[in-house]
Chain A
Amino acid sequence: MNRRFFLKSGSVALASIGMTLSAPSFLERVVMAREASAVGGRRKILIAIFQRGAVDGLNMVVPFGESNYYNLRPSIAIPKPDPGNAETAINLDGFFGLHPAMRSFKPLWDSQQLAIIHACGSPDNSRSHFDAQDYMESGTPGVKSTSDGWLNRYLQSKSDPQESSFRAVAITREMPRALMGRAPSIAMANLNDFTIRAGKASANMQNGFEALYAQHNKDLVAGTGREAFEAVNSLKKSNPAQYKPENGAVYPTTPFGNSLRQIAQLIKSEVGLEVAFTDIGGWDTHANEGNNRGQLANLLQQFSASIAALYQDLGQRMDDVVILTMSEFGRTVRENGNRGTDHGHANAMFVLGNSVRGGKVYGNWPGLKNDQLFEGRDLALTTDFRDVFGEIATSHLGATDLKSVFPGYHLTRPNRLIR
């Protein structure tokens, strides 16, 4: 943990009377005392990624061992694995395979850093994008009146004595539902925007505001303003404009690739990030979904290559990071008249990290025979998404009060996803 954050308010107060951080030795001692008493251990980080629009989980993680998969999807099925043919499913365990466009995930699977939970999702049978996203982000399927998100409730449930302004950050234009609530969190489309923006006069204006906000000691607005500038300045030190990914990582030059790149940057600048969130849309493939090539393939390629780049870029830091992907519901097993798929039920999720027990597809597989389908059309659900979220909140982030994070829900079957 960076020392700056022990001085959260103090540093600004000092600056206002014309001293620098390094000057007074008595304050140094205050800092060191606090540092020593702080809870030890490295900060664990969760990166949550929402695939908005409902990804077709059955073409993302292909149950090629099911003959009905091929019966019901005459034009869009992913061909069975054929080691000599790169346009076939990538064999994972003899029954499931990855979409061939996701080959960048294969090494992570082989090194057991990538886990999959299949037939997973929300127990509510809503097929509305809005409602289902809402439920997955609020963490309370079927209950619409929940005003905060599950990630925010996690933050509320665990007070952090070293809390920084960047504890929870969404790289999105607006605050996502999952992070809404009482615990402070920031949403920004671009790290470079988190500053005073006045062209050439930016530094000058910032100095002006900092001086203004250094007044009014007891005022809530002024106090928060001081926090804001402290955050701005610590971010500036990490020099976001000059960021260079490490370990040869190359992020796709797409908005999603760029979002993940910025998350890596925030993590490396050690500004106290604990929960990061971002999203990627375009999954609502009602028409011309494609098979090993096409619309979905292009999107899956971008999705997996971006995450793989993030993994590579973070290197050893992935010891403390878990990446979790989600989507509001799955899609129909049967392809429709427009060579696409309609809104379905259960789906697949990815969990990645050095601490993840990877190389395994978790969850009971309900089968795809006609009489095994949910409401006669969809992949049935065997894992409640809260089992996955809850396990990561406890085993990875160290949540102790899961009841407040997922009110009214008791974790049923821990998968032991985290080592």
Chain B
Amino acid sequence: MRFLKQIATFTLILSIVTSQAVVSFSKTPRLTDEQRIIHVLNRLGFGARPGDVERVKAMGLEKYINQQLAPEKIDDAIAETKIHDLSVLKMSTAELYEKYPQPNQLIRQLQNRGMLPKDLADTQDPQKNPRDNPEYRKLIQEYYKENGLELPQRIMAELHASRILRAVYSERQLNEVMVDFWTNHFNVFAGKGADRWLLPGYDRDTIRPNAMGKFSALLQATAQSPAMLFYLDNFQSVSPDASRGRAQVMMNEQARPRRGINENYARELMELHTLGVDGGYTQKDVQEVARCFTGWTIFQPRGGVALNARNEERMRRLPDRPAGTFFFNIRAHDDGEKVVLGHKIPAGGGFNDGLKVLDLLAHHPSTAKFIATKLVRHFVSDNPPPALINRVAAAFTKSDGDIRETLKAIFFSNEFYSPESYRAKVKRPFELAVSAIRVLGADTNGGPGTHQWIARMGEPLYGYQTPNGYSDTAESWVNTGGLLERMNFGVALAGNRIPGTQVDLTKLAGANTEKRKMIDDSLKSILAGEVSTATRETLLKQVDQADPIAKVVGLILGTPEFQRQ
């Protein structure tokens, strides 16, 4: 605000000194048909690829939207091919623990079993941190190679790649937008403990199958997901009355650092996943909900490799289940009576206690309002119109939380197509990167080279620490450091300096194209020509006939206009 005040002062001075008018592109009272298509491609997807606008025009906008609302019927062979070699996506959590062990845990296990290779044992230098011991690191790498193992960093690299590749190539664009939306709504941080081994399953088994289904099913899936149970500590929430020894044996050592009830999940479940902070619950409700979820835990939450010798022996006596899967531990459950939001949950309910809570929350009017608000903010405007929120919440309630029906209420509303919402939302870094790759028709492998840029711009995937997830409003994203990186990203992409991503700009304008045409063609491809006269004039001034098209494209990707959708 301080800044805006200063700007106002100097704008005044400027208008005295010069009569040069700043033209902002005119807001028409109604969007043109082409603008409506561009808007839908931007908001229901990650922006247009070359030819997309024409394709939707030929098909009809309404038909396109309805198609996007039924992703299971859209053929997605290209995207599937692109992610085919990412083996992490197909592996169970137990397999991930086996194949991508943490080096320190692996060494400790080998040591405990007396199986540590001699060369590795010999190079362990007590004087040195293993990180600073190149010889040791080399031997570890060799050991991994010989035994078909890979370092755990690889897991997140492949998961990141899958998200980028699907966003860029999938024909099911709305589905990918919803995967991004729900992943952020039910945020899990990859840097917390075992979560990086648990996240591929979270994406595959929890979020994706439910992204366009019923909210209640999605909510239950997240509640039972090892990733969320670990992230919000519920896996170690134990009734204080549970008989200590037995509950522990069942939980196993790894899940036992703190005894007693952990309220973390219960609180965030209501504050962030369903009712919203002012949704009408009390601290007492938080405690009661936490009691309902005691015993919702994970079998071997850190995988077998993390067990020490004593626990390995103990685990052998337990029923055989895959490591890193959900299970309900009745011995850790508080089976007394609870009262949640005024509803009595009788004693002896066991596993059903948690299910009842989820059902109550999924159908609570505050949840309808809270989810509607977040969706309208995401798809329409940073300042969601209250009338639209009410209609969307009503659609949510009427359809028993059907996500498609709820989205329809947005996509066929007048507010959605209002000129005020057109090119108004500031893209988040993931959206910016993917939309730039798409609009240029660039080819990417989604590798670390691309993800690093998304991270530098401020949105590493699965990299947000706290459970509220990334913000969905402009002021959180428009800051000096982040904006500079956005410009640098545009420059790097246009200059073909992002490893794993290639762009062929000759498609936009051939060699020896006259400068004015080169700029106009590029503006047309990237922004449908919708820039202010001032921006176009500035580009004409800044670009020399001898400049490469990479400069023109880099500048356009870095314009204020391209930061919005």
Please report A residues at the B interface, Cβ cutoff 8 Å. 8-10, 13-14, 17, 27, 125-128, 130, 134, 144-147, 159, 161, 163, 165, 174-175, 177, 184, 186-188, 194-199, 201, 204-205, 207-209, 211-225, 227-228, 231-232, 282, 288, 290, 293-295, 298-299, 339
Contact = CB atoms under 8 A, between A and B. Distances in A.
A282 B104 CA distance: 13
Contact of B258 (A14, A126, A295): A126
Contacts of A163: 2
Given A145-B267, A145-B268, A196-B487, A231 B126 contact: no
Contacts of A217: 7, 11, 14, 22
B460 to A, nearest CB: 7
B24 A216 contact: yes
Which residue, A127, A216, A299, has most C-beta atoms of chain B within 10 A?
A216
A215 B534 contact: yes
A189 B373 CA distance: 37
Nearest to A181: B476
B240 interface: no
Contact of B10 (A13, A198, A294): A13
B153 to A, nearest CB: 14
B22 A216 contact: yes
23 contacts: A8-B3, A9-B3, A10-B10, A144-B268, A145-B268, A147-B466, A187-B481, A196-B484, A204-B551, A205-B554, A205-B555, A208-B551, A212-B535, A212-B538, A212-B560, A216-B24, A219-B560, A224-B479, A227-B480, A288-B127, A294-B127, A295-B127, A298-B129
A175 B458 CA distance: 8
B483 A224 contact: yes
A174 B454 CA distance: 12
B558 A209 contact: yes
Interface string B492-513: 1001000000000000000000
Given A8-B3, A212-B559, A295-B129, A13 B480 contact: no
B145 to A, nearest CB: 24
A145 B426 CA distance: 26
Given A130-B193, A212-B560, 4 more contacts: A177-B466, A186-B479, A196-B488, A225-B483
A144 B467 contact: yes
A369 B375 CA distance: 58
Given A223-B7, A224-B479, A215 B126 contact: no
Contacts of A294: 126-127
Given A205-B491, A216-B534, A299-B129, A225 B7 contact: no
Contact of A221 (B264, B426, B466): B426
A10 B560 contact: no
A363 B542 CA distance: 62
Nearest to B236: A128
Contact of A232 (B258, B468, B484): B484
Contact of B538 (A14, A130, A215, A339): A215
B114 to A, nearest CB: 15
Contacts of B3: 8-9, 223-224, 227
B103 interface: no
Interface residues on B, range: 35 or more
Given A130-B193, A215-B535, A221 B564 contact: yes
Contacts of B2: 159, 161, 163
Nearest to A206: B487
B545 interface: no
Given A13-B14, A224-B478, A201 B551 contact: yes
Nearest to B18: A17
Which residue, B463, B466, B554, has most C-beta atoms of chain A within 10 A?
B466
B7 A9 contact: yes
B475 interface: yes
B474 interface: yes
A134 B231 CA distance: 13
B487 A288 contact: no
The 5 closest A-B pairs by CB, nearest first: A288-B126, A228-B480, A186-B481, A221-B560, A215-B534
Interface in B1-54: 2-4, 6-7, 9-11, 13-14, 17-18, 20, 22, 24
Interface of B is mostly: helix
Contacts of B271: 145
B426 to A, nearest CB: 7
A290 B484 contact: no
A352 B479 CA distance: 32
B317 interface: no
A298 B193 CA distance: 27
B563 interface: yes
Contacts of B460: 174
Contacts of A339: 126
Nearest to A295: B129
Contact of A177 (B10, B465, B484, B541): B465
A270 B549 CA distance: 38
Given A196-B488, A212-B539, A212-B560, A144 B466 contact: yes
A213 B560 contact: yes
Nearest to A12: B10
Contacts of B551: 201, 204-205, 208
Which residue, B455, B542, B560, has most C-beta atoms of chain A within 10 A?
B560
A276 B132 CA distance: 27
A218 to B, nearest CB: 8
Contacts of B18: 17
A134 B468 CA distance: 14
B131 interface: yes
B348 interface: no
B126 to A, nearest CB: 4
Contacts of A209: 487, 555, 558
B117 interface: no
Contacts of A13: 7, 10-11, 13-14
B191 interface: yes
Contact of A216 (B131, B480, B481, B532): B532
Contact of B480 (A27, A165, A290, A293): A165
Contacts of B6: 8-10
Contacts of B463: 174
B148 interface: no
B557 to A, nearest CB: 11
Interface in B435-466: 455, 458, 460, 463, 465-466
A124 to B, nearest CB: 10
Nearest to A202: B491
B85 to A, nearest CB: 28
A20 to B, nearest CB: 14
B386 interface: no
B244 interface: no
A212 B563 CA distance: 13
A282 to B, nearest CB: 5
B192 interface: yes
B257 interface: yes
A228 B543 CA distance: 22
A195 B484 contact: yes
Interface in B124-146: 124, 126-129, 131-132
Given A9-B6, A221-B564, A208 B480 contact: no
A220 B478 contact: yes
Which residue, B192, B535, B538, B539, has most C-beta atoms of chain A within 10 A?
B538
Contacts of A130: 191-193
Given A126-B258, A198-B495, A209-B558, A298 B127 contact: yes
A80 to B, nearest CB: 23
Given A10-B6, A186-B481, A232-B484, A221 B268 contact: no
A221 B484 contact: no
Nearest to B479: A184
Contacts of A288: 124, 126-127
Contacts of A207: 542
Nearest to B111: A338
A288 B132 CA distance: 14
Given A144-B264, A212-B535, A228 B554 contact: no
